[in-house]
Amino acid sequence: MSKFKFYVTMDCISFTALMLLYTVLSVTVGFADVVPEAVLVLFLMTTCIAVLISFTDRLPVSSPALQMIVDLVDIVAVVFLIGGFGGFIPMELPYVPIVLGMIGIVYLVTFGVLVIKNRADAEDINKQIKKLKRK
C-alpha cells in the first residue's frame, strides 16, 4: 500500500471508530451531543493526527513499542491542542480521563484494522506471485 493511501486509510478508520465511540457515549451517558460542528472538529483532529504521524513515522525508531508511544504522543498532542485550546474538550475532570480512554480505544481499533488489512494485502500479493510462478 502506498504511504499516502496508508495514511488516508488510517484517517478513515480512526474517524469512523471515533464517531462510533463518540455517538455511543453521547447516547448512553450524555458525554456530548453529536452535532455537525463536533463531527467537523473530530474529522479535523483525525486528519491532523494522520498528517503528524506521517511525519513522525520518518523518525529513525526501530522499536515497535517506541513507535506506538510516539504515535500516542502525536495523538494526545493534536487532540488536546485542537480540542483543549479550541474549547471543544473541557480541560477538567471527568472529561480528560474519558478523552484519554477514547484515544486508547480508537488507537487500538485503528491499529488492529490496519494490521488485518496489511495481512490481507500481503496474502493477495502472495497469491498473485504464486499465480505468476505457475505460468
Q: Tens digit of pLDDT for each residue in 62-101?
A: 999 999 999 999 999 999 999 988 889 999 888 899 999 9
Q: What is the mean pLDDT of residues 2-15?
A: 95
pLDDT at 30 over 90: no
Q: What is the mean pLDDT of residues 98-118?
A: 95
CB 82 within 8 A of CB 73: no
Q: How many CA atoms lie within 13 A of 119 on its CB side?
A: 6
Owner of C-alpha cell 463531527: 39
- Total-model pTM: 0.89
pLDDT value of position 94: 85
35 is written with which cell numbers? Answer: 452535532
Neighbours of 109 (CB within 10 A): 17
pLDDT value of position 101: 96
CA 6 to chain centre: 12
Give the end-to-end CA distance of the chain in Å, rounded to a whole number: 25
